[in-house]
Every structure is written in C-alpha cells, then in structure tokens.
Structure 1
Amino acid sequence: MTDLLNQLVAFIGEHPTLANAVVFLIAMGEALFIIGMVVPSTVVLVGAGTLVGLGKLDPWPIFIWTVLGAIAGDAISYWIGHFYKDRIKAVWPFNRYRTLVDRGEAYFLRHGGKSVFIGRFVPGVKAIVPGIAGMVGMPAGRFTFINVTSAIAWSIVHLGPGVIAGTAFSALGEISGRLATMLGVFMVLLFLAVMIARWMILIVLPLYAGSRLRTVDWLARRQHRAAKWLARALDPSHPRSAGMILSALAIIITVPLFVALAAAISPDNGLNRADTAIRNLFHDLRTPVGDDIMTFLTMLGDGVVTACVAAVVVAYLFARRAWRRASGLLIAIAGAAVFVPLFKLLFHRERPIDIYSGADALSFPSGHATLTTVLYGIIAVLVAHDRSPLTKAGVFSITVPLIGGVAFSRIYLGAHWMSDVVGGLAFGTAMVAAFAFVFGSIHNEKIGRWALAGLACVTLATVGGLHVMRNFDRTAAMYRPATPVVSMSADDWLADGWRQLPSHRIELNGEREEPLILQWSGTPKALAEALAPAGYMPAQGWSLTTFAGFLTGQTAPEDLPALPRVHNGRGAELVLVRRDSDSKGPESGGGDTGQDGEPAPGGRWVLRLWPTRYEVRRGEAGMQPIYVGSLIHERILRPLNELSAPRTDRDLPEAKDNPLPGLPGTALRSRRDGSGVVLGGLDR
C-alpha cells in the first residue's frame, strides 16, 4: 500500500495541471455563498502544500491558482448578493439557511468593510460575508481590492502549514520511512479530530440553533405534557438548554461505549485479538526518534504532572471563590483517580508489557487517557464556557491534540491495549460531560478564564518540563520495545509445539479468517525457491501501472497485485501467485480470451507468509524464525469485461492443488478440528 501511495504522489507530480485545477476549484468552492460551508478546503489545500514540501509540485502555480480560485469564489458570492439583495432570503436554497444569513449580516454590520478580509479566515461566516457585502451595496472596487488581498493572505495561511509539514516529512523520510509513516498517521488522526471538533462547533451547532427554534415552536403547540416539557427544555431562553442537551448526549454515547468495552474483555475474543493485532502493527512502526517523541508525550500524562496541574487549577478556583466549580473539578479528578484502579482490579486485565506493580500493573482502563481527558477536558469547558464559537473552536483545537497525543502514546509504546485507551477516553469524556451538565449553567462565579488557561499552560510546561528532564532516560528505557519471543526445540515443535501457533489468520478487527495451513521454519526466500518449480512466482508489486490492471477486463490473473492482508497486525513478508490453469472463464460477466478465442483462465492461487513470535533451535544453524502461511484461491471476476475483481472462493486447497506436503523436509499434522497443517523447512 505504501508503494501505491508513493506512485500516487508521483502521478500527481507528473500531472501538475490536474493539481492546479483541483486547488482552483476547491478554493473557489470554499468561498461560494452557503455552498462553501461544506467544501473541505483546508484538507485539500494542506495536502497540496504537503506535496509542494515533498518536492512533487511547483509552489508558484499552486499558489497562483489557489489565489485565483479564492478570488473567483468571493466574487461570485458578491455578485449573487448584489443581484438578489434582500430577496436572497426567500430564494432556495438560501431560505433554508436563514440563521446563517442573519448571522453573516450581523457580522458585516458590526465590522464593516474589514469583515470581508477578516471573515475569510473565520469558519462559519467565510462563505456568507461576501454575499452580504453585495446585498448591502458595498462598492465593487473596494470589495475587489479587499477580495484580492485577503485571497493572497488566506492562500499563504492554508498552503504554508502543508509546505512546512511536507518538508519535514521529506527530511524524516530520508532518516526513516517508518518514522515518517508513523508520524503521518498520528498527524492525520489529530488533524481529523480537530477538524471534526471545529466543524461541530462552527457549522453544526449554528444549524442546530435554527432547527431547534422550529422544533420548540412545534412542540409548544402540542397538548401532550411530555411535548410541553421538551419545549421548555429545548427553549434557547432556558439557561441550561444547549449545554444540557449536548452534555446529556455525550453521556448517552460514552457510558454505553465504556460498558460495552468492559463487557467484551475476555482472554479469547474478537476484541482481545484486535488489540493484539493493533499492538503488533504499531510495534513494527517504532523507531528511536518516534520512541523519544511518544515518551515525551506520555510523560506529560504521568500522575505527578496531572496532580500538580490539577492542584494549581483547583487552588486558583478556590482563590477566586468559584466554590462550586472548584469542588466539581476536585470531585471529578478524585473520582477518576479512585475509580480507575478499582476498575483495573475488577477487570484484572494484564498489560501488553510488564512495567508496573500493584493495581497499575493491570490494564483496563488507561489511567493516562482517563485522567488527562478529565483534567484538560474540564479546563477547556471552564475556559470556553459562554465564549464565542470561534473561541470555543480555538480552545478545543488545543485541548484535543494534547489529550489525543497522550492517549496515542500509550498505544504506540505498548503500555496499553487499544481498547484500554478507548475505554479511558470514553470514561473521561463522560466525567467531563457530567461536569458540564451540572456546572454549565453557573454564571455568578467569575473565574478569569484566560488567567486560568495561562496558569494551566505554565504549570504543565514547568512541571512537565522538569519531570521530563529528570526522568526521561529511565522512562525511555522502561518503554524500550521488546518483542516477546517463544523459543522451542525442533523436536518440541514437531511433537506438540506447533499447536501454540494460531490456526487462522487474525484480522485487525479480531475476526478469524482463512486457515493457516503452513508453518515454515526458515527464510521466506527459501520457501519461494522451493515452490518455484510448482509455478509459484512473486506477486506483482503495487504501482499505478499494476493498479490500473484492476480497471481493465483483460488483465491476466498473475499480473494483478495481491490484495494486502494482515495477520495479527503484521503484513505478509512473502506473497506468491500461481495462475489456475484448470479454471475456465470467470463466473459472471464474461472473461478474457486467448489467441485461439477460447476463454483464458480466470483464477489464481495466492500463498501468503506472515512472521510470528516463535522460533526453533536448529542445532548448528542456530535459531530459525517460524512463519505461518495460507493458500487461498481467487476467482477473477470481470463485470462487462471492464474490470478485474479478485474474489476469494476457496480458503482451503484440495489435495491436488496443494503443493506444500510435497516439499522436501515437511511433516503433516492434524488439528483437533480435523484440518491439517504442514510443518516445513525441516531440511534447511
């Protein structure tokens, strides 16, 4: 898959005209009246900037076309407003967004002409203000000047971070491709989390405000008592209406999620297998630089740092005589600190690595994820309470990456299973929602929000910095990657040790898939050489050229890349393909034909080999790793002779199609369910 992404980047670099057209259309669409609310300009433009930083695109054409698109979009919106004037509020689809139009009009009247420049950078009004400027009769010359200058600044702001990120990833890729991949995944997850949070605050909630008024009006006209109660609860004049609903919704979602995760924990179930697979996936992505970054993040969530920040914030709130909020924060932190170890003792789930003692040696839920979410989530609620949507978006845009970084570090370092961290985040979010539900309507406690935010940041930087400087080396050594290896002698493996290895491939979601019918002691290269006489050849690598084979109906089965499959979080180290010479054309839609006009074979056998944590002592040869493999049959379907679609139709080969037992130095064993497994590589 990495090869395919590299080929895609190369393709975009070789077709800059396509990239120019995309950034122009996206920049223009983002500025169109109302429509721009749903155009993902930030995602696309940051991606384009990243390609510039990677050296795949020329910066000046991308910048110029982005500016031109932004200018065109605002100009179109301006002339729409100029033509329709106030009638626009009654024209579909603008009449469906009266709340947004009224909000944009109020923003323009408050800030005047400068709102055209400022509004371009403000989510929620950027797609409204140019049209409002046309509605109120702003001179076209003045609008054009502001439009052009703001488009230049806006393009720099959106492309710049991508250029910097692309340059950094390019440098990291020279050091370690795995490090660049890991950081890329991490940054994408954080970016999506922040974008979703901002989208909810700045777009969904304003739309909700308009629909809430209509809902309240409809409920108020009902005679049923429950309808009357709901109308009062949803009424915007109710001081706790919005906060109460959102907090209750968060609790309704997170509490059942935590309970479901807790109920699913058992020694052998899909969740446990999925956790193991995800742990192995991140274990294989670890690098020394990545370890240092994640160790730093995880230390910011250590108990001593969390306790100091919580103590300073609680003391500050008491000093400001915000008695109820201070007590609420103290209760929430203390409750989380008590309940996390109690839950750990109750569920008694072992950690992936042995690094602690007592209750901390247990795993579910993650204390770092829980306490970090509770502390910084409540601080964010206190700072953002009763502030503008833009301020709320800014506060949570800082808080979400901090919490997400600490939580992600626990999975990356192998200190917790994925479900431990998700459970901790769910439990912590429920605590934050409960705090907001209870204390959100308090308006008579002046807490000095920005002083509180600054104090929390300074305390985190000071205490966290000292903690990292004093204990980094010891902590890094504690989280040093260690792959547990199970060793056995060749005799033990042949006798009964082979039963310890998995019998089926395990997907990332924990599901058991096709049977693993091969255990190979030796190198993948040795197996490829042994199977070459049987017609098995290495599968085609992924590239744009080979990917295009799926889009045509005449591609031979052996020329199609094998679809990636992971076992226990690890990719296959060997993929071999043999054309099925016994099968005739595909099952549906026709097939390709040979030179004589007869249907060409439409299927193939695919053998995959995955690494395990087991190894065999082989006398003078030393320790030899054990791999597990599967052999499946894929039918190549060709709908309308236009596509080539592999579909697995057999997970197990019949005796005549299975070359594994005939390899030199193999032994056949039978599992308790009657299936067989070949132990190979004994002669090497």
Structure 2
Amino acid sequence: MDDLISWINSYATQSIFIATALLALLESLAFVGILVPGVAILATISWLAGQQALSLPLLLLSGFLGAVAGDWISYILGRYASHWIASLKIMQRHPNWIAEGERFFARYGGLSIFLGRFIGPIRAVIPFIAGSCAMPPARFLVFNLLSAAFWAPVYLIPAYWLGQQAEELKMGWNIWLQLVALVVFIGVLFHAIHHQLTPGKHVYRWLHPFATGAKDLLRTYVFIVLTTLLLILCITFRQLTGVSPLELEVYNQLHPSPEYLHVYAVFATLLGDGIYLIVGSLLTAILLSVHTRARTAVMFLLLMLGVLLLNVAIKHSLGWPRPELGQLLYDSDSFPSGHASSAATLLASWAVLFAHGCCATLKRRIYLAFMLPIVSVALSRVILGVHWPLDVIAGLAEGLLLAAILRWYLGRSKEMPLPTVFRRWLGMGILLLTVGYAALKGTAALSFYTH
C-alpha cells in the first residue's frame, strides 16, 4: 500500500512538470496560443508546484523546453506550410492575426522573437511569421533560446513563490494582501472582458449573433447574465451550505480589525445608508429632469426603489441571521447586505450616467473608478462584524444587476449622451453630499459601531 501511495505521488509530481511543458508549448504554438489561456493555467500549476515544494529548477526547465519547442514548431510551420495555413477558414476569418504579426516583425526584426514572447497574442504569431519570411534557422534559434530563458522565470517564479507562502498568506494581516489581489484581479478581468466585447474582437464576434438588433448592448446583456447567475449562486450556496468554514475563516480574519481600518469602514459604510441612497437618488432625478431627461429620472428612481424592495423580499424569504454583533445592532436579517446592494446600485448607476455616450476606453476607466467605493462599502460590513462575506457578495450582485438594467434602458431608448454640464453638476452634487453626510453622521456612526 505504501508503494502504491509513493507511486501515485511520484506520478502526480511528474504530471505537473509534463503539464507545465505542454502548456508552455501550446502558449507559444502558432495561433493556438491566441485561443488557449496558457499563462493563467501555468500560473495555477506553478502555484500548486510551490505549495507542494516541488523542484523549482525542474519547473523552470519544463517551462523553458515547452516554450522553445512551441516556438520552433511554429517557425517550421511558417517556413514550410504558411500558404496552406493562410488558406484555412479560421485564418480567413481573422486576417488581422497575421497582419499584426507581420507589422511587429517588420518593425523589430529578429528582436521581435524576444519581445513577442512577452506580448499576449503576438507570442503565438511571431515565430510563424519569422519562418514564413525565411529567417535563418540558426539566428531564430538564438532568439528562441534567449527569450525562453527569460520568459520561464518571469512567468513561473512569482506564482511558485505564492504557492510556497500559501499557508502564511492565510493568516493575520495577509488576508488584506489577498483581498487587494482579488480586487485587482476582478478589475483586470472586467477590463479584459469589456475590451473583448468591443466590435471586432474575438469574443464579440462569437457572441454578437445572439444579440441581433442590439449589438451595441452586447456588453450589457453579458453583464446582466453574469450578475444574475452570481446572485442565484449566492442564494443557492446560502441555502445549501449556510455559513461555510471558508466564509467563517474570512469573517474571523476581517473582524475584529485594527482601529484605523475600523474608522475607515465606518465612514465607507455610510455610502450604503438608506438616507444617503434617498438623497442621492432625488438629487440625481432632479438634475436629470432639469436637463430634459424626465423618463430617465423616473427609471432611475424606480431602480433605487427596486433595490430596496428586492433586498427586503430576499431577506424575508431566507431569514438568515446576522453574526452575533450584527444581531445586537440590527433586528433585520443578514442575507443579502442592504448596504452593499444600495451602494452598488446607486454608485454603479452614477457610473453608468457618467459613462453614457463615452468611448469604450473612457467607460472602462469610469467604471473602474467607481469600483473602489463600491467594494469599500461591501468590505466595511464584514469588517464591522454585521454581515457574513457571502451577504455582501450577493448585495454587490444585486446592485450591479440593477445598474446594468439602467444601462440597458439608456441603450434601448436611444437616449442622447448627457451634456457635460450635467456631469459637472452631478459630480459636484455627489462630492457635496458625501462630504456633508459624513460630517453630519460620522460621529454618530463611530459611536454606533464602537463595541
């Protein structure tokens, strides 16, 4: 039996090195690397290798050999099969793949082999272009070996180190490192998805047949589907598992918190107060009406009312109790978080109004700017000990879903972009409301949440 366990462990270890080499090959292979998320999977495998304390030199060697092999196969395909590959239907549907690679190769020459290794989709195209342009094999091999020798440590060592530190990262203040990493990851993921849903991008071309007649709202439809699924998943998990051990561990690490974080959480949570929601909604509706957007104002108010009603309906249907401290401060149920859902709806809806009519790049920047206060409100509820982590995730999903409905309404009704003066007045109004409300309620809130 011991021999069998030893063999299984040895086989699993070998599999990690083989998988690393194979994924590095696929990541570098002509055009396949564009479609395969090899870097993300390699990072996961490196993290596992670090957690299991496997040999780092062997891991790096596996990645190096796979990367070299992938580029070399791509070079051979470009040298001897470029015309056949260019005639394939998938290549004819994506002529920009070769065109972008040719421009990059023409600009940097042999150095493009090295640089391209570190640049997303170009990585899987440049060796093929080098082969089709009859670059001497010896010269290509030098750049191939050199780039792979740099690529493997850059992409594999950070995740391997995190895997080594996995146990330590679970404890103490490192929970904040994980949360920051999670927020950054979500921001990058949102940016990438939003970018890929731009007309002309791969994901857009795959999905746009399902949005016939409303291609300009494809991002909105995708976001509505994703937030709806997230809310359903949260409700399902709460019903089936209750407060899981992982959720309890996260809660215990976030609460209680250092004094400075407690103060930050108190002021952040004010953005989810009912009074702030009501005043902010009325202010926005008035400004919309002044600028001849009465229907949009009504829709905005309906969504703000909708988040309150939906939140109450879910709370009463599930009846899940708050943490112990939350039960002392509130007499309402815990799931979902009303503060998280209210803040997400109001702040994300403001982001939608600011971004309406802007270019895709500016929209992403506006949405990402509003993400920080939205996430801060959600985290504050756990830091203050009045909600479980899943409560605030469900609240975020609920609020973002309703904000996406506002974006859908603006797109379907063909509303003209709001004038610059509206954005200016709305921005000033939000600033004055936030500062004034914090000044009026800050001291009382600090007293309320002090225990």
> Structure 1-normalised TM-score?
0.45
Query: Cα–Cα, structure 1 residues 73 and 20, in superposed 2: closer, same or farther, change >3 Å?
Result: same
Specify the alignment match of 1:613 in structure 2.
none
Confirm or deny: 8 A CA contact 2:117 2:151 kept in the other structure.
yes
More helix per residue: 1 or 2? 2
Specify the alignment match of 1:62 in structure 2.
59
1:107 Cα shift? Answer: 2.0
Selected match of 1:106 from 99, 102, 117: 99
Q: CA RMSD in A?
A: 5.8
Selected match of 1:274 from 236, 240, 247: 240
| CA distance in 2 between partners of 1:121 and 1:16 (Å) | 27
Confirm or deny: 8 A CA contact 1:85 1:136 kept in the other structure.
no
Q: For residues 585-632 of structure 1, what are the alpha-carbon distances to aligned partners after superposition, in whole Å with 9 as ceiling and x for unaligned?
A: xxxxxxxxxxxxxxxxxxxxxxxxxxxxxxxxxxxxxxxxxxxxxxxx
1:415-564 → structure 2 map (5 Å cutoff): 415-416=386-387, 420-421=391-392, 423-438=394-409
Query: Cα–Cα, structure 1 residues 418 and 17, in superposed 2: closer, same or farther, change >3 Å?
Result: closer
Task: Give the AA of the match of 1:207.
Answer: H
**Structure 2 unmatched runs, 5+:** none
Confirm or deny: 8 A CA contact 1:369 1:421 kept in the other structure.
yes
| CA distance in 2 between partners of 1:104 and 1:138 (Å) | 19
Specify the alignment match of 1:20 in structure 2.
17
Specify the alignment match of 2:322 in structure 1.
352
1:298 Cα shift? Answer: 5.8
Task: Give the AA of the match of 1:242.
Answer: K
Q: For residues 453-473 of structure 1, what are the alpha-carbon distances to aligned partners after superposition, in whole Å with 9 as ceiling and x for unaligned?
A: xx9xxx9xx99xx99x99999
Query: Structure 1 residue 367 and structure 2 residue 334: aligned?
Result: no
Query: Structure 1 residue 88 and structure 2 residue 85: aligned?
Result: yes
Q: Give aligned pairs, total.
A: 406
Confirm or deny: 8 A CA contact 1:333 1:371 kept in the other structure.
no
1:192 Cα shift? Answer: 8.2
1:253-268 → structure 2 map (5 Å cutoff): 254=227
Specify the alignment match of 2:270 in structure 1.
303
Selected match of 1:135 from 124, 132, 135: 132
Task: Give the AA of the match of 1:432.
Answer: A
Confirm or deny: 8 A CA contact 2:25 2:70 kept in the other structure.
yes
| CA distance in 2 between partners of 1:89 and 1:437 (Å) | 40
| CA distance in 2 between partners of 1:207 and 1:46 (Å) | 23
Specify the alignment match of 1:612 in structure 2.
none
Specify the alignment match of 1:251 in structure 2.
224
Confirm or deny: 8 A CA contact 1:364 1:420 kept in the other structure.
yes
Does the residue aligned with 1:278 lie in a helix, a strand or coil?
coil
| CA distance in 2 between partners of 1:125 and 1:426 (Å) | 35
Confirm or deny: 8 A CA contact 1:243 1:437 kept in the other structure.
no
1:22 Cα shift? Answer: 2.6
Confirm or deny: 8 A CA contact 1:255 1:430 kept in the other structure.
yes
1:43 Cα shift? Answer: 3.6
- More relative contact order, 1 or 2 (CA 8 Å, 6+ apart): 2
Q: For residues 96-121 of structure 1, what are the alpha-carbon distances to aligned partners after superposition, in whole Å with 9 as ceiling and x for unaligned?
A: 35444x22223224434545555444
Task: Give the AA of the match of 1:352.
Answer: R
> Structure 2-normalised TM-score?
0.62
1:435 Cα shift? Answer: 4.2
| CA distance in 1 between partners of 2:77 and 2:90 (Å) | 16
Specify the alignment match of 1:643 in structure 2.
none
Confirm or deny: 8 A CA contact 1:53 1:170 kept in the other structure.
no
1:283-432 → structure 2 map (5 Å cutoff): 283=248, 286-288=251-253, 291-292=256-257, 302-304=269-271, 338-345=305-312, 349=316, 351-353=321-323, 355=326, 361-363=332-334, 365-371=336-342, 373-374=344-345, 375=347, 379=351, 382=355, 386-387=359-360, 407=378, 410=381, 415-416=386-387, 420-421=391-392, 423-432=394-403
Does the residue aligned with 1:302 lie in a helix, a strand or coil?
helix
| CA distance in 1 between partners of 2:139 and 2:406 (Å) | 49
| CA distance in 2 between partners of 1:249 and 1:78 (Å) | 38
| CA distance in 2 between partners of 1:337 and 1:421 (Å) | 18
1:334 Cα shift? Answer: 6.7
| CA distance in 1 between partners of 2:77 and 2:357 (Å) | 36
User: Which one is further off, 437-446 or 366-375?
Assistant: 437-446
Confirm or deny: 8 A CA contact 1:301 1:406 kept in the other structure.
yes
Confirm or deny: 8 A CA contact 2:272 2:343 kept in the other structure.
no
Q: For residues 45-84 of structure 1, what are the alpha-carbon distances to aligned partners after superposition, in whole Å with 9 as ceiling and x for unaligned?
A: 3234435655813333322332332222122122212222
Q: For residues 390-449 of structure 1, what are the alpha-carbon distances to aligned partners after superposition, in whole Å with 9 as ceiling and x for unaligned?
A: x999998998898678657756876346774454333323233234435568897898xx
Query: Cα–Cα, structure 1 residues 257 and 204, in superposed 2: closer, same or farther, change >3 Å?
Result: closer
Confirm or deny: 8 A CA contact 2:227 2:400 kept in the other structure.
yes
| CA distance in 2 between partners of 1:71 and 1:154 (Å) | 10
Specify the alignment match of 1:158 in structure 2.
155
| CA distance in 2 between partners of 1:271 and 1:407 (Å) | 19
1:42-57 → structure 2 map (5 Å cutoff): 42-50=39-47, 54=51, 56-57=53-54
Task: Give the AA of the match of 1:282.
Answer: E
Specify the alignment match of 1:207 in structure 2.
202
1:556-595 → structure 2 map (5 Å cutoff): none
| CA distance in 2 between partners of 1:358 and 1:110 (Å) | 63
Query: Cα–Cα, structure 1 residues 152 and 202, in superposed 2: closer, same or farther, change >3 Å?
Result: farther
More strand per residue: 1 or 2? 1
Confirm or deny: 8 A CA contact 2:74 2:127 kept in the other structure.
yes
| CA distance in 2 between partners of 1:105 and 1:435 (Å) | 40
Confirm or deny: 8 A CA contact 2:357 2:416 kept in the other structure.
no
Specify the alignment match of 1:547 in structure 2.
none
Query: Cα–Cα, structure 1 residues 56 and 202, in superposed 2: closer, same or farther, change >3 Å?
Result: farther
Query: Cα–Cα, structure 1 residues 360 and 366, in superposed 2: closer, same or farther, change >3 Å?
Result: farther
Specify the alignment match of 1:638 in structure 2.
none
Selected match of 1:76 from 69, 73, 80: 73
| CA distance in 2 between partners of 1:137 and 1:26 (Å) | 27
Specify the alignment match of 1:238 in structure 2.
none
Task: Give the AA of the match of 1:103.
Answer: N
Query: Cα–Cα, structure 1 residues 253 and 165, in superposed 2: closer, same or farther, change >3 Å?
Result: closer
Query: Cα–Cα, structure 1 residues 127 and 199, in superposed 2: closer, same or farther, change >3 Å?
Result: farther
| CA distance in 2 between partners of 1:366 and 1:395 (Å) | 24
Confirm or deny: 8 A CA contact 2:24 2:66 kept in the other structure.
yes
